[in-house]
Amino acid sequence: MYYISLSLGELILKGKNRQSFVHKLRKDISRVLKDESIEEIYQEMGKIYIKTDKDQIQERVKKLKHLFGIVYISPCIRVDKDLDSMKKASVDFVEDYLKDHPSKTFKVESSRADKQFALKSPELNQLFGAAILQNIQGLSVDVHHPDFHLYCDVKKYVYFYIDKIKAYGGLPMGTNGRGLLLLSGGIDSPVAGFLMGKRGVQIDAVHFHSYPFTSPRGEEKVKELARILSTYTGRLTLYSINLLEIQKAINKNCPYDEMTILSRRFMMRIAQKICDDYSYDSMITGENLGQVASQTIHGLTVSQDAVHSLVFRPLIGMDKVDIIKISEEIGTYETSIQPFEDCCTVFLPKHPVLKPTVEQMEKSEGELDVEGLVNEAVKSMKVYHIS
């Protein structure tokens, strides 16, 4: 019988609340496999096993790779603890593997979790190795640098597998509260959302645009980024905010070089109001220290001052090349680099203020109806449900 085994990583380190984490992961498994019937699913000694047909394995592995909380995924076969059945299964499994993976050397690695089983791990390695050598021509054992490993886990049942497909690890979605991601059309913010999702934060997003000064295609681009993120996070709510009236007010009443940082403070305030209204526990931004003028220590201090929620900045110390690498891996990069402008390009000062202070910004904001502008922007927002 074919199964897919999921290795759970740090979930196993949890104490009395471990089962709540596993329960959430099993709900996520049901969600991503919702179009397919799951005949059998169970947990055994640090792994979850899903019974599957052989022709379903590839597609199911592709879907399961997007779930946080899983470290490795391994297609496997399960047999009873009968030596003849175990030897036959080891040979059949290797023969099937060799059809698509021509190899010359192998190594058997057995793990005897059931200590009541008569044979110990070294004896099982010898037993299966000998059976494979006797029945499959052209293979030899190499214990140091084999072309592939045949793994055998002896538990309540016996499992054979070869592939250990790396997944993202982390914690299941929603086990660490809810976060509102400030999602732009750039490279950074989708990666920030992905990384916090990996830590168990349930993600929704807010996007700011300046229509009609910016193209509707910019908003469509952000919807597509949200859709890609939703393949990891599940259904995602996207709040779309037009910032144009706020930018006009800033442009009319405040120093021109403060446009960027004042706009950022308004974005944070609007995000804070959404957090308060819809019970989000945190905000998430793609800010990276020193990357742009508003992301200096002074700029970050001033934008942080505008809100009271916890703000996660998972990219704060990362190199841009590493952020790009993650965006390519998770599938957002090609969408992020599409040349559609967002609100940050409207009224952009040539020389933005680099060392703003809270006192300086509050003085400039004294010329504005801050609360009224925030409330009006939220009142007119559009809400999209993306999956």
Report the topology of domain 2-168: VC0802-like (3.30.2130)
- What angle do helix axes 83-98 and 121-135 make, rounded to 10 degrees? 60
> What is the band of 106 on the pLDDT scale with cuts at 50, 70, 90?
very high
CATH fold match for the domains 2-168 and 178-386: no
What is the reported pTM? 0.90
> What is the band of 271 on the pLDDT scale with cuts at 50, 70, 90?
very high
**How do the residues of the chain divide into helix, strand and coil, expressed in percent and rounded to 5?**
45, 20, 35
**25 is known to lie in a ligand binding site:** no
| CA quadruple 24, 29, 31, 34: dihedral sign | negative
Rounded CA-CA distance 300/140 in Å is 60
What average pLDDT does range 83-111 have in this prediction? 96
Q: For 178-386, CATH number?
A: 3.40.50.620
**182 is known to lie in a ligand binding site:** yes
The answer on pLDDT for 22 being more than 90 is no
What average pLDDT does range 205-210 have in this prediction? 93
Q: How many other C-beta atoms can be found within 10 angstroms of the C-beta atom of residue 21?
A: 20
111 secondary structure, DSSP code: E
Work out the mean pLDDT of the chain and round it to a whole number.
92
**Six-digit token string for 310:** 């916890």
State whether residue 30 is helix, strand or coil: helix
**Cα 140 from chain centroid (whole Å):** 40
CB-based burial, 59-69: b 16+ in 10 Å, e otherwise? ebbebbbbbbb
> What is the band of 94 on the pLDDT scale with cuts at 50, 70, 90?
very high
Lowest mean pLDDT among 84-93, 152-161, 168-177, 337-346: 337-346
**60 is known to lie in a ligand binding site:** no
State what percent of residues in the chain have pLDDT above 70. 96
> What is the band of 218 on the pLDDT scale with cuts at 50, 70, 90?
confident
201 secondary structure, DSSP code: P
Name the residue ranges covered by the structural domains of the chain: 2-168, 178-386
Rounded CA-CA distance 341/219 in Å is 9
The answer on pLDDT for 214 being more than 80 is no
pLDDT of residue 346: 59
The answer on pLDDT for 251 being more than 80 is yes
Lowest mean pLDDT among 43-47, 94-98, 144-148, 163-167: 43-47
**269 is known to lie in a ligand binding site:** no
Task: Please write the tens of the pLDDT for every residue from 332-375.
Answer: 999 998 876 665 565 666 778 888 999 999 999 999 999 999 99
**286 is known to lie in a ligand binding site:** yes
Rounded CA-CA distance 262/246 in Å is 10
